[in-house]
Structure 1
Amino acid sequence: MSHLILVINLGSTTTKLALYRDLSCTYIKTYSHDKGIIKLDQKAQEEIRYQIIIDFLNESNTNASDIDFVSARGGLLKPIEGGTYLINDDMLLDLNTRRYGEHASNLSGILAHSFAKNHGIKAVITDPVVVDELCDEARLTGIKDVNRKSIFHALNQKAVARKFADSIDQTYEDLRLIVIHMGGGITVGAHLGGKVIDVNNGLKGDGPMSPTRAGSIPVDALLDYLEDTNISHADLISLVSKRSGLLSHLDSADVEEIVSSIKEGDRDKEQVVSAMVFQIAKEIGAKAAVLKGQVDQIIFTGGLSYSDYIIDSITEYVDFIAPITVYAGELEMDALAYGAYSVLEDNRLLKSYIREEEHD
């Protein structure tokens, strides 16, 4: 028996919705939002975004009662291993209270749960950004009470890893891969045994700089910057996660436009992009060392992977490590449908989210 799956993927400026009949997409649409909606807080957006889901079903001539299952993008939760999780009361409480942070992706799970509850079905999330499968060596730092956090493009990284495995008739768990997601943020993961045992935190200052993020910064230089500018903690987080990288150097994060200027002879822009490429290549080399030089494939994905200039520039540094495959863009919607379909076919794969107790 086939299943009709509603996929919900909310970003800060868009609502992406799709219908899948098992693993085949039958209807998909992205709704872009104006500033009037974007500036509202999470709670205020709930009713507006829920109505968009209803409008989507009407546009696709789908009765809400025909939906068998809902699959949503995971939000900011406690660190968890990869997989598909039921949106239960524990998860819903953490999402609603924004315990681990506020992001539009939190709303995906909240609205999925509301829709599922209204129609007597189940809702799940798959591979949220907080997937944490780091080995102990990757987690520890030189300061006892400071550990590295795993925040990365888990959903898309694992999706393209599985796609590559399928393309060579292998299983994801049997391959040793380096996967690089290049978008507004850049994360480079070492995949071993079906787990991401090492990955840079692509959000708050780790790894290569990206179009909008700082990447790793020398501690002494950052401390001097803090003293010179007297910047607040909140403003510093905003700086390193939203207003750094190419945007800081070039006042633009539009890579296509920047590359076009480079090809016309803009040496200043070429220097900055070359630095970003250099840092991405270094991160790939580090992950090759983590995998002890035994790498089956290097896989590029994300929006920047559409740029032949960027891919070719990085390839010059790393093609000695392993063969290279490019899956430009992202497979998030397919990955969310896959997660839901997998547990529909085998309920033993469904995981439970258990909330951590809060301490004073």
Structure 2
Amino acid sequence: MIRRIEPGQVRLGMYVRGFGGSFFSHPFWRTRFKLTSQTDVDILRNCAVPYIEIDEALGCGLIEHDEAPSPAIISPAAPPPPAPAVARRTAVRRVRTRPPEAPVSPEQARAERTVTRGKVVVQALFDSARLGQAVPVAEAMSLVAEMDDLFARGEHKLLDVIRMKTADEYTYLHSVAVCALMLKLARQLGMAESEARECGLAGLLHDVGKMRVPADVLHKRGALTDAEYLQVQAHAEEGFAMLSMVPDLPEAAMTVARLHHEKIDGTGYPLQLSGEAIPLVARMGAICDVYDALTSNRAYKQAWTPAKALAAMAGWDGHFDGPLLEAFAASVGIALPHAPVEPA
């Protein structure tokens, strides 16, 4: 039996048979599959299609107490019902980057889908870490590969979409942004695909230790006390400890989680390393982390432009690896002020 349901009605065990609306609004490239992952359920509940077709012969159907109106039983040839005037509210909010009536290119649509999926995946990663459960590394690597493939095809809308994040989305989308920036910097440095994707995974997981920081401290708008600042600093070692328990996790992820707040002059934390004693991937993570923080809207400040952020970072003596910062600027298409000019 085939039914058409609203996105908000999907649940684990359903067999998806198809989607309504334009192909470019679909949240997955495949159109027929069984829902065995809560992440996929959340993505579907948050997608922009007018309806989803399910096959109740191949999977479970609606439950009797479902809040939505009962959908009509249809035949495959039946015309689609009109889209609902008001979409159901769901737990995961779709990233809104443009007015609903504005036309959207296929590249923009793919970028929006990837960012929306990224928010769901990072939330699942952080929730698992906070509860002491197994971290879904396979889901994380799948997301990293999806983002890397977009860049490999020459599609660069992803960073524009991420930059539109609101202050309340910062916790999760900051990790997605750092992942994307790490991928671009790794490719700029000529790293192989496998190494670049390990850098992306490290960016995605770099702040996982913040799940051990009290929420009232982590989101405090005013100045932190000395004791609160120490609690925030502890997220580096906490993240390292948490990721050290994950089997077969690339070492880059643990390194960046622990060392992305180290500084070239040795004044960072937690180990006060300096210069090349700081691993390359951690020096990369430091740049990507600060750049996204500066170019994001936060509860206590407005976002800086990319050019202003990079100009400021270039002026912080002793903070970043200078040549690496130049490579990063090139990877995002911005010239550093007073950058050295190579001889002709």
TM category, shorter: 0.3 to 0.5
**Structure having the larger proportion of residues in strand:** 1
TM-score (norm. length: structure 2): 0.32
* Bigger Rg, structure 1 or 2: 2
TM-score (norm 1): 0.31
Higher RCO (CA < 8 A, seq sep 6+): 1
